């Protein structure tokens, strides 16, 4: 059974928040609180599940198993394997202040495309951390050259220093993100960067699906702590700055653009509305209401 943390912002510890709405309690076989809400911190604007579940090992295995894997596979191959890693690497090069090429990805999932790109095209040393056994098996198949570490991230040996720590769609799953920022800061060399990607809870897609779901009374779509994808925290600009200041990091880039939803939409849909809707999605992205946000934080020298 998870422990539950009530009424406390996981970034700034404020107890002052407004309620966005009630989340569905889902069907997963884990003991649940009476109700769970998505709330927004009045101080740092972080969105978080209230209460915040702290999963134990059995809960974690129940949530992140083979049935979760399809949720990891949503964009087209060329975008995931080439376009996104190339663009993110260009950003890393702009902000990195060290010449070493030591890369660690935590919560690497099943494919680790960024790591594959850096290994094959840029000749970086790669280490992957993945605590779910089922994901690690899939990961070893998709990237057999990689060293896969199954230790929990917060328990990893902090003696080694990395130039880049990377995490795509992980931070929103943990109830204690400050501990993760601190661990990254401890394991980065000075001038090294943490590159993390996390959903934009203020996305157009969230707004639309929340409108639809509220009408049917099955809970809002923010976070979904007890439904795939089990998100617990939605990061705000101010909250990330607070987390950085607490842990010796500096935010050097924060963007809510560069989403490929329009391109994916064109690939997946047909009919006369395909291009007008794709153009609309492109505009939504340009205005900062796309599906994801990407943040680069550098360890202070």
Q: Select the span of 12-20, 131-139, 145-153, 188-196 touching Zn ion (CB under 5 A).
A: 12-20
Question: What's the closest the beta carbon of residue 48 comes to Zn ion, in angstroms?
Answer: 8
Q: Is the Cβ of residue 226 or residue 235 nearer to Zn ion in the bound state?
A: 235
* Pairing label, strands 47-50, 233-234: antiparallel
Question: What's the closest the beta carbon of residue 214 comes to Zn ion, in angstroms?
Answer: 25
| CB 13 within 8 Å of CB 5 | no
Q: Select the span of 5-13, 59-67, 91-99, 211-219 touching Zn ion (CB under 5 A).
A: 5-13
Among 8, 24, 43, 169, binds Zn ion (CB under 5 A): 43
Question: What's the closest the beta carbon of residue 13 comes to Zn ion, in angstroms?
Answer: 7
Binding status of residue 295 toward Zn ion by CB under 5 A: no
Q: Select the span of 6-14, 58-66, 109-117, 138-146 touching Zn ion (CB under 5 A).
A: 6-14
Question: What's the closest the beta carbon of residue 253 comes to Zn ion, in angstroms?
Answer: 22
CA-to-CA distance for 127 and 28, rounded, in angstroms? Answer: 32
Among 23, 30, 39, 41, binds Zn ion (CB under 5 A): 41
For residue 106 the two structure tokens come to 């935590």
| CB 174 within 8 Å of CB 55 | no
In three-state secondary structure terms, 192 is strand
Q: Is the Cβ of residue 17 or residue 196 nearer to Zn ion in the bound state?
A: 17
Binding status of residue 24 toward Zn ion by CB under 5 A: no
DSSP string, 272-287: TTHHHHHHHHHHHHHT
* Pairing label, strands 188-199, 233-234: unpaired
Among 14, 182, 255, 258, binds Zn ion (CB under 5 A): 14
Binding status of residue 44 toward Zn ion by CB under 5 A: yes
Sign of the four-CA dihedral 291, 114, 89, 184: positive
Q: Is the Cβ of residue 18 or residue 270 nearer to Zn ion in the bound state?
A: 18
Q: Is the Cβ of residue 131 or residue 239 nearer to Zn ion in the bound state?
A: 239
Beta-carbon contacts of 208 under 8 Å, excluding residues fewer than 6 positions away, are none
Q: Is the Cβ of residue 43 or residue 255 nearer to Zn ion in the bound state?
A: 43
| CB 165 within 8 Å of CB 187 | yes
CA-to-CA distance for 107 and 152, rounded, in angstroms? Answer: 9
Among 12, 170, 171, 262, binds Zn ion (CB under 5 A): 12
Binding status of residue 233 toward Zn ion by CB under 5 A: no
- Residue 139 φ then ψ, to 5°: -65, -40
Question: What's the closest the beta carbon of residue 8 comes to Zn ion, in angstroms?
Answer: 9
Q: Please give the torsion angle defined by the CA atoms of residues 79, 85, 91 and 93, in that order, rounded to the nearest 10 degrees.
A: -150
Host H or E run for residue 37: strand 37-41
Binding status of residue 9 toward Zn ion by CB under 5 A: yes
Which residues lie near Zn ion (CB under 5 A)? Answer: 9, 11-12, 14, 41, 43-44, 46
């Amino acid at each position: 059974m998870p422990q539950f943390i009530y009424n406390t912002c996981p970034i700034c510890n404020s107890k002052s928040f407004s309620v966005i709405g009630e989340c569905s309690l889902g069907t997963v076989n884990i003991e649940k609180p009476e109700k769970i809400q998505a709330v927004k911190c009045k101080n740092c604007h972080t969105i978080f599940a209230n209460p915040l579940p702290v999963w134990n090992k059995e809960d974690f295995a129940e949530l992140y198993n083979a049935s979760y894997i399809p949720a990891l596979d949503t964009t087209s191959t060329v975008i995931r394997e080439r376009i996104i890693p190339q663009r993110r690497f260009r950003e890393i090069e702009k902000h990195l202040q060290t010449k070493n090429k030591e890369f660690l990805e935590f919560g690497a999932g099943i494919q680790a495309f960024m790591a594959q790109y850096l290994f094959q095209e840029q000749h970086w040393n790669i280490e992957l951390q993945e605590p779910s056994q089922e994901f690690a098996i899939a990961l070893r198949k998709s990237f057999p050259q990689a060293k896969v570490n199954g230790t929990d991230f917060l328990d990893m040996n902090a003696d080694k220093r990395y130039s880049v720590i990377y995490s795509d769609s992980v931070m929103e799953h943990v109830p204690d993100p400050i501990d993760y920022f601190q661990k990254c800061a401890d394991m980065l060399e000075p001038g090294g960067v943490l590159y993390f990607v996390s959903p934009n809870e203020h996305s157009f897609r969230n707004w639309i699906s929340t409108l639809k779901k509220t009408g049917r009374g099955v809970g809002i779509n923010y976070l979904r702590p007890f439904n795939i994808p089990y998100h617990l925290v939605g990061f705000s600009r101010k909250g990330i700055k607070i987390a950085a200041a607490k842990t010796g990091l500096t935010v050097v880039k924060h963007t809510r653009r560069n989403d490929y939803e329009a391109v994916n939409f064109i690939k997946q849909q047909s009919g006369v509305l395909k291009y007008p809707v794709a153009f609309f999605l492109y505009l939504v992205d340009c205005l900062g209401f796309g599906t994801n946000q990407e943040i680069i934080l550098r360890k202070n020298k």
